Structure 1
Amino acid sequence: MILHTLLDYDVLRVIWWLLLGILLIGFAVTDGFDLGVGTLLPFVAREDVERRIVINTIGPIWEGNQVWLVLGGGAIFAAWPHIYAMSFSGFYLAMFAALLALILRPVGFKYRSKKESPAWRATWDWCLFIGGFVPSLIFGVAIGNVLQGVPFNFSPDMRMTYEGSFLGLLNPFAVLCGLVSVAMLVMHGGAWLALKTEGAVAARARGAASVAALVTIVLYALAGLLIWKYVTGYQWTSTHLPNGPSNPLAKTVQAGIAGGWLTNYANHPWTLLAPVLGFAGALLAFVGLRARWEGLTLIFSGLSIAGIILSVGASMFPFIVPSSTHLASALTVWDASSSHLTLFIMLVCAVVFVPLILIYTAWVYSVIWGKVRPRDITHGDHAY
C-alpha cells in the first residue's frame, strides 16, 4: 500500500495513458504486418503455392499477435470506462464491420486449402484480403474522427448519447487517415514478406512495400498539413484538476482553435520526435527495401508506425476523445479514468503479465524464424 500511496492519481492516469498507447503500438506493429500481408495476398502471389507461402508466413503467429488487440480492449474497458462506453456505442457499426472482417481471417486460414477448387481458394484469398484491408482502413478512420471530435454527450448521470451516424464517420479527413493506416500497414506487411519469403514473392513484396512507404510519407504529410490549416483543435479552458474525480462535465473546453493540435509540439519541442520518427522510419524502410536490409527494414517500418501513433497521442494530450457537439463532455486523461485503486491494481497486473507475454512472444518468433519455402508447403504436414 506504500507504493499505492506514492503513485498519485494523476501519475497513474498518465501511466495508463502511456500504457494504452503502448498497447495500440504493440497491436499495430505485430498484428499490423498480419493485416498488411492479408491486404497484399492477391497481388504479391500469383500461383497457389505462392499464396500458401504468403499465408504460412503469418499462419503460426497471427493469433498471438492479436492478443494486443484484446489487451487494448480490456485496458480501455477497465482503465477508461467512459472511453469504452463512447467508442463501443458511437463506433458500434464501424467496429462490427472491423470485427466481421477479422473473423474472415481464421476461417480463411482453416478452410482455404480444404478443397482443390481454384474458385474455392480464390474466394478465400479475397476474404483474407478483406480481413486485412477493412480493419486497417477502419482503425485509421476512427483516429481521423477522434482528431476532429466525435458527436456525443454525457448526461448529468453519466449516460452517454452518440449523435452521429455511420456514414458521418466517412468524412474526407477521416478517410485520409484510413488511407495512411492502410499504407503504413501494407509497408509493414511487405517488409515482413521480404524477410520471410524469397524469389518472386519477395521481389513483388519489396516493390509493393516500397510504393507503400512513399505513399505513407505523402499521405502522412498531407494529414499533418490539413491538421495545421483546417482541422481545428480543442483546449481545456477551466482549472486543471489532475487528481479530481472522473467527471467529464466538470470542466470547460474551447473548440475551433486553428492548429490547436500542434500546440503541444510548440510547448514541448521534444514531442516532435514522434512525427520525425514517423517520417524517418518510412523513409528508412524504403531505403532498406531497395537495399534488401530485410531485418532492419522490418524494424524501420515498425518505428514508423510507432511514430505515427505517438504523434496522435502527443498532439491531443490531455484529450483522448473530444466531443464536437457538447464540448464539456470531451474525454481527457484527467477525467475519463477508473478510480485510483483500480488503476493501481491494474498496473500491478500489467507489470507482472506484460513481460510474460513479451517473453512468450519472443520465444514463438524464435521457433518459427527463417524463410518459408515451397518445400515447406508441399511437404509440410501442418502447412495451411
Structure 2
Amino acid sequence: MLDYETLKIVWWLLVGVLLIGFAVMDGHDMGVGTLLPFVGRDDTERRVVINTVGPHWDGNQVWFITGGGAIFAAWPLVYATAFSGFYWAMLAVLWALFFRPVGFDYRSKIADPRWRSTWDWGLFVGGAVPPLIFGVAFGNLLQGVPFHFDANLVPYYTGSFWALLNPFALLCGVVSSAMITFHGGIYLMHRTEGDIQARARLAVLGAGTVVLVGFTAAGVWLWADVPGYAIGSAIDPAGPANPLAKTVVRAPGAWLANYGRHTWMLLAPVLGYAGVLLGMLLAWRGRTLTAFVASSFGIAGIIATPGVSMFPFVMPSSTHPGSSLTAWDSVSSHLTLGIMFWATLIFMPLVVVYTSWAYRVMAGKVTAAYVREHSHSAY
C-alpha cells in the first residue's frame, strides 16, 4: 500500500479529476439546458436540442454522485463542514436538479404548448442554477468560510446564506455559468445543424468572451484585494488528521505564492485561457469536435487554477484560520484512502470505457426530421 502522505496527495488529485470530469461531462448537458429556451425557437427545434443530451444526461450524473461520494469518503471533515455552511446552497442545487429527470421524461408526453414551455424553463433552471452556485462556492472558498472547530472537532458555521452572495463570489459564479454555457454551446454545435447550430455559435462566442473577461477580472481581484492563507507552523504531511494542530496566517497575495515556488503550476491558468480561446476559434471555423476537446481542457485549467492556488488548503476558515482544512489534515484514515484508491483504479477506467462506447453509439447529428419520425420515442 502507498504511504499515507502519498495517498493524501493522490486523493487531492483524484477529487480534482472528479470535479473536472463532472464539469466536462455533466457540464455540457447543463450548458445545453441553459441554452434551450434561446436557441430553440419552436417546439420542434427545442425537441432537437433536448435530444442531443436526452439519451445520456443521466449517465453523466455519475460524475456528480461520484464526486460527492469521494469528498465524503476521502475528506469527511470537509464534507461535514461544507454541508453545514453551504446547506441552503446545496439544497438549491438539488431543487434545481429535480427539474432535469422530470423535464426530460415528461416534457414531450403532452402536446400542450404551456406544458412544454413550462418544462423548457424547468430544464433551463436545472442547467443554469447548479453551475452558478458551484462558482459562488469556489469564490467563498478563496475568501475563507466562517467556521471553526471545538476541541472535539465538531464544526460550527457562523455565517449565513446571504453572506455567501458577496460580489467576488458572484463574479466567480458568473465565470462558472458562462464556462458551462460555452461548453454546452460547442456540444450543441457538434450535434445540430442549420439555424440551431448558427444560434449556438453566437452563444459560444458570447459566453467564451464572458469567461475570458470574468476569469481575468477574478484573478486581478484575487491578487489585489483577497488575502490568502499560509501555514505558519510545522506540519507533518504523514501525520494523523487534526486540523487544530497547526497555525495559519492570512497575508495579501498568499494565494499566488505557489506559482513562485512551483512555476509549473502556471500551466493551469495558461491552459484555461488557451482552451477557451482555441475553442472559440475552432467553433467559429466549424471544427466542433476539436473545439469541444479544447473547451474541455479550458475547463480543466480554470478549475485547476483555484485548486493549485490554494494548495494545500481545501477549505480555509475566515473566522478562525487555525481551523482551516487542508489536504494533510482533513482526510480519512490510511486504510480508507488505500482501499478507495484501488477501487478507483478498477472502476474509473470502466466508467470511462463505457461512457466512450455510449457516445460512440449515439454519435451523429440530431435533426428535425429525426424528431418527427420518432415522435413517440424521442424526447
Q: Which amino acid aligns with 1:274?
A: A
**1:324-356 CA-partner distances (Å, limit 9, x unpaired):** 001111000110000001100000100000001
| Secondary structure of 1:60's aligned partner | coil
SS in structure 2 opposite 1:234? strand
Corresponding residue for residue 193 of structure 1: 188
Separation of aligned partners in 2, 1:337 and 1:382: 47
C-alpha distance in structure 2 between counterparts of 1:352 and 1:320, whole Å: 26
> Is 1:313 aligned to 2:310, yes or no?
no
Task: Report the 3-state secondary structure (helix = DSSP H, G, I; strand = E; otherwise coil) of the residue aligned with 1:300.
Answer: helix
Give matches, 1:354-373, under 5 Å. Answer: 354-373=348-367
**Which residue is 1:30 aligned to?**
25
- Distance (Å, rounded) in 2 between the aligned partners of 1:281 and 1:360: 26
Cα offset, 1:71, TM superposition: 0.5
Residue of structure 2 in register with 1:322 after alignment = 316
Residues matched between the structures, number: 378
Aligned counterparts of 2:300 and 2:254: Cα–Cα separation in 1: 22
Q: Does 1:88 align with 2:92?
A: no
What does 1:171-182 align with in structure 2 at a 5 Å threshold? Answer: 171-182=166-177
Q: Please give the secondary structure, in 1, of the residue aligned with 2:156.
A: strand
| Residue 52 (structure 2) aligned to one of 57, 66, 78 | 57
Identify the residue that residue 217 of structure 2 maps to in structure 1: 222
Unmatched 5+ stretches in structure 1? none
Q: Given the alignment of the two structures, is residue 118 of structure 1 paired with residue 118 of structure 2, yes or no?
A: no
Does residue 116 of structure 2 align to residue 130 of structure 1? Answer: no
Once residues 110 and 289 of structure 1 are traced to their aligned partners in structure 2, the CA distance between those partners, rounded to angstroms, is: 30
**Counterpart of 1:209?**
204
What letter matches 2:255 in structure 1? Answer: W
SS in 2 for 1:66: helix
- Aligned equivalent of 1:263, options 257, 262, 267: 257
Alignment of 1:223-242 (within 5 A): 223-242=218-237
Tell me the alpha carbon deviations over residues 300-339 of structure 1, each in whole angstroms, 9 at most, x when there is no partner: 1111100001111110000000000011110001100000
The answer as to 2:136 corresponding to 1:141 is: yes
Question: In the alignment, which residue of structure 2 is the partner of 1:249?
Answer: 244
Residue in 2 that maps onto 1:278: 272
Which of the residues 148, 157, 162 maps onto 2:157? 162
- 1:304 corresponds, among 295, 298, 311, to 298
What are the ranges of 5 or more consecutive residues in structure 2 without an aligned counterpart? Answer: none
Q: CA deviation at 1:289?
A: 1.4
The separation in 1 between residues aligned to 2:141 and 2:51, in whole angstroms, is 35
**Residue 278 of structure 1 aligns to which amino acid in structure 2?**
G
1:334 corresponds in structure 2 to 328
SS in 2 for 1:161: strand
Distance in 1 between residues matched to 2:370 and 2:256, nearest whole Å? 50
What does residue 48 of structure 1 align with?
Answer: 43
Q: Which amino acid aligns with 2:27?
A: G
How far apart are 1:382 and its partner, in Å? 2.0
Percent of aligned positions that are identical: 57
Alpha-carbon shift at residue 53 of structure 1 (Å): 0.5
Structure 1 counterpart of 2:50, one-letter code: I
Q: Work out which of the residue numbers 1, 24, 34 in structure 2 matches 1:39.
A: 34
What corresponds to 2:98 in structure 1? 103
Instruction: Compute the TM-score of the two structures, normalised by the length of structure 2.
Output: 0.99
The amino acid of 1:360's aligned partner reads Y
CA displacement at 1:79 relative to structure 2: 0.6
**1:351 — aligned with what?**
345
Q: Which amino acid aligns with 1:76?
A: I
